[in-house]
Structure 1
């Protein structure tokens, strides 16, 4: 039996112990995981320094290096996320619908855990704790397969989580960290249909496509975040400028950062010079269509590839559009179903935008940077789904459960002939 199959079987064997925990026990476990992580902060930072040095030596830079980096503030943030997940409502056992059929059958839809979740991710050590917390909150066990760039950080964080599991008398295999990072091992994990109930890849487009192409288990995915801000002719331009600066420059290397700015032609002359100045002051490279470059002569010509790009850097594509419908058409053509924003004071325009855009998150007069599980009340997120399966958008603990039917009767049979005379 292969090593990864042995690990996955041990993880599956841990599921009953986790699924049996009541709400109070899960809260206590996750709180203690936060305490254990804080107690091991020095170990985590030392491990992360080792990862950072190795990554720098390999030439890793930009967004990936930023995601890899930990400091005391970020470790504290990870611990706080554990506590936030602990305090969330327990989704397990929730009755989402109840009705009584004409024949007297009481039919309920009840949330239950998925089972074993395989989390595949890159240089994001915070995902080790976030994914574990959300899976445990939802009554699941988790197999964590992080990237080689963060292996030491992930191991240090997992060690802290194991401290808490042991203290609560629970199997550490409920949070299984895969340290065999060979690609063939990951492929085998993704094909364990008799063990793994769901795979969630989180990282760059290449990783997600690899997982989707090689998995035999169900996969939740989003390939990239091409997020748009559309500044309508009815926009408050000061508000729109704030949304632009926050969405593009606060942290450009994340999937909810803005990548494209669309501006209604009626306000372009007023808005774009202000926007260009604000972005240039913050080091943003502008790429625009011909009408944009008339107003921003220093902008580089934008190509179709630019409008479909997830730059993950201080670069933004800009286009002047004739109207709301043109903005919607652009997003439908170039978007990735992640997050779209409209800035407008026109309620009819806002309703039309929300109705016409099918993306997982649609914002009205709010920054794209709020497209995040923590900001939207999920505590932490295990990922963002742009596939229309059982979950769409940021995924929290509830998205790691499924509904089943529980039917209560009083001896009803479907066919009268079945009754024993």
Structure 2
């Protein structure tokens, strides 16, 4: 059980050479990172924080949706204020919030958030990787706001309109104004909490994948210079592969359950909205469409992160092959350390010039930047051909990437899932919002 409490330090301090040399774990105050401070609200490393965390969860994920559905069902209201799809909306949000909360609970108790995000392993990475990873964590709160606030704004607008326009129809307890204000506040808090829970886990997945992407970028830079020790290159690649296996293992249940359940909820929503006896209008199906958009967005955050790092890891193999070709063609082993001849230098310049022209003619999408890495001239002290070929063979037969129970999450996998989920979502939007056109 992790001993790191909510006061645990989360990131290493400024890059201190002594800390790197001594392999200590320099610490950094958690207060600097507002997103990580938010994540620590779900910390369950001791009894007090666990009790508070579970109490808030049951209140906003279980109790409030049940009260909202059964006490505010408003079956006698006009068609603008009825909620025939409320069961699907509440179940979908609560199920995904439950999966996210249980996952966070397990990770917090088993690893602690510092170890879970590999922050205790940053002592052996370069300064560039550490700084960019810190910046990624700092950007996470903004990403959370971008994904959560728009849906909360639309939900708040709908709820406020629903209570104001249906003031005389909506059930209340004792005082209608106070009752409606409290109910609306609790419903919006529940919506925000459940949406945020799911998106937070998706962003945590993105953060862990981003660290491995940074390490792959750093590893790929060695092919743009001289490599004299193949053992160190193999060791670094093995560390990256091991970290990717750890990430895949930790998130595999969450990813698989999210994919299955988001598809199931989309089918359930479609079957409900396509019934001939059900009237479809923006007042009744607006929440359903908004809920579907939120859930599908979270799933694609995870899938895009996994696909990006898998593609990046596979690009290292092609980069190593290009490096081996350039080193073989422009080998200086026969010169015994002498200055390269002009014809060889011209051939190297020609090779690099062709590579630059090729990369400039086509616009990259950002994921292919490793394929366009420029290979610099290889000189006499570069490792021998046998070692280069052994390294390339190793990379070809030990491709890294994110997996889900052994299935590699690559672009073909993403395209298939994207096609299914997008088709379901567009069909649902056409049956709900599109019917108003």
- TM score, norm. by length of structure 1: 0.25
By percentage of residues, which structure has more helix?
2
Rg (Cα) greater in structure: 2
- TM score, norm. by length of structure 2: 0.25
By percentage of residues, which structure has more strand?
1
